[in-house]
Structure 1
Amino acid sequence: MSHKIVFLDRETLDANLRKPNFPHEYKEYAQTASTEVVERLKGADICITNKVPLREDALKQLPELKLIAVAATGTDVIDKAYTSAHDITVSNIRNYAFNTLPEHVFALLFALRRNLVNYHNSVFHGRWGYNSQFCYFDYPIYDIAGSTLGIIGYGALGKEIEKRAEALGMKVLVNDVVDLPNKVDVPTLLRESDIVTLNLPLTPQTKNMIGAKELASMKKTACIINTARGGIIDEAALADALRKGVIAGAGMDVLTVEPPKNGNVLLDPTIPNLIVTPHVAWASKEAMQVLADQLIDNIDAYVAGSPRNVVAA
């Protein structure tokens, strides 16, 4: 039996993609608009998608579709209630960003705690040149060693972040949806942390879990970092908190709508001590190749009758 595989957004994966281990027809598209999904997937039994949504209105027109291989860990773009009810397997990628994402978290952490962006910008606007002394202290700098890192979401990535934090001499507080011997409740974690990092999926329970009230409970000198999913932090509340000095800084690798074609409240350049990167924490060359290899492993395993990395509704 030959399988038909369609990759809807190949442009999102900068890595070599080996051929699956079975007879197949393969078609890829750099990008796919929502209005093109049904036409491009007609006759396909295997779909690869990274960020192209597959909702009920499209899925019900694709009776031959049997596997959706998501080229990412997050599966919020898939209508999993529909796929579960109609025997469509959904697989995802796991444990591939074990270096790249923690390193991005710490890049943001160092930049925020040492105010690197503000100092860089001030130098290039001439501030150093007219200073009377050899240095200046316009922006506070805080040590990483001895500070407290709060990790919300203690899965594989949370644990990797913890290892690096402890190596730097940080105290670590952790919270997760599952019970842990060392689990700290979210209010305590927010109150006691100097830096908070979010590493959990976007679900109805986590949507806007960090809002104005939660930000106000943090230290004025604290920073928050989100490399998980846009929408876990209330973006308007965060912009307001940064402008008012409720917290000291934020690092965001994700926004609620990506790309932000119609703008976003966090893209106002007047917001102080905010760093926004374009959802690239996962995207080291090494990590993308691990992802690409695992993606094909998932498809091979499904066709061989032993599906792996299966995502439930």
Structure 2
Amino acid sequence: MDYIKIFSPATIANLSCGFDVLGLCLDNVGDEMTVRKIDEKTIRITKIEGADLPLETEKNVSGVAALALLHEWDTDYGFEIEITKNIKAGSGIGSSAASAAGSVFAINELLGRPYENKDLVRFAMQGEKLASGSAHADNVAPALLGGITLVRSYDPLDIIKIEAPEELFATVIHPQIELRTADARSVLKQHITLQNAITQWGNVGGFVAGLYTRDYGLIGRSLQDKIVEPIRGLLIPGFDRLKIACQTQGALGSGISGSGPSVFALSRGFETAQNAASAMSQVYDDMKLPYEIHISGINPEGIKILDKK
């Protein structure tokens, strides 16, 4: 192959209780990327549509991730990348992760798949490091693997993919403001109480157990965050009202998507997810705040190939 076009999906990171370790892959929101082989031994970003992002390879997350891969897998040719951004930067649904994961996935395909998708996570993390200052995997892992992912360890990197229950749906509302991941990380406390840590550990275990046992009630009870949400929630307009709105419509639970400002809700069944979307929309309609809203099933495969030749 000399050419590939892919769909690189949006993701929800943290899922309330799992800061930097849990992530979920969305199905109907994402970027499109085209990658071609070129004779020159380099990485070039030739076009970006839908966002004002740098074309310089070393300043773009897709370029940095691609360079990390090629630093390890040497070739006598290079690649050029085109990106159509449908995920807004600073939205909290993995905009930088989609670009970073998409570039290494596409290049790996054009190389003949020397790496498994799980092995590509460590290259994509370098793009995340450029974007936020932290090489985290909670967005790039579900983008590359699909489903819901748990990063058990970063050193060494150990990622577990969990198949989502069939009736699980996500609703995501994005107020039209930008909240940079680096800024959202900067407000976090470096120390937490033992009691909050114990609560958080229990919720992470409960959430994972709920996924495996298809226990939707347990999933909902575990969607609580005692550590990050109380601080970051202050940065998001109407955050508490959004959570109450979801609850009144029967959603399992809700929280901040990634670093925000998007807010997500998980529901059992599409109809409940729709009701949650209507209630969340009403909150921002009342506030006269523009927003985008998405309802999605859980994408089981991650990045999808649209065309290749």
Q: What's the TM-score once normalised by structure 2's chain length?
A: 0.28
Q: Identify which of structures 1 and 2 has the higher relative contact order when contacts are C-alpha pairs closer than 8 Å and 6+ apart.
A: 2
More strand by percentage: 2
More helix by percentage: 2
Q: What's the TM-score once normalised by structure 1's chain length?
A: 0.27
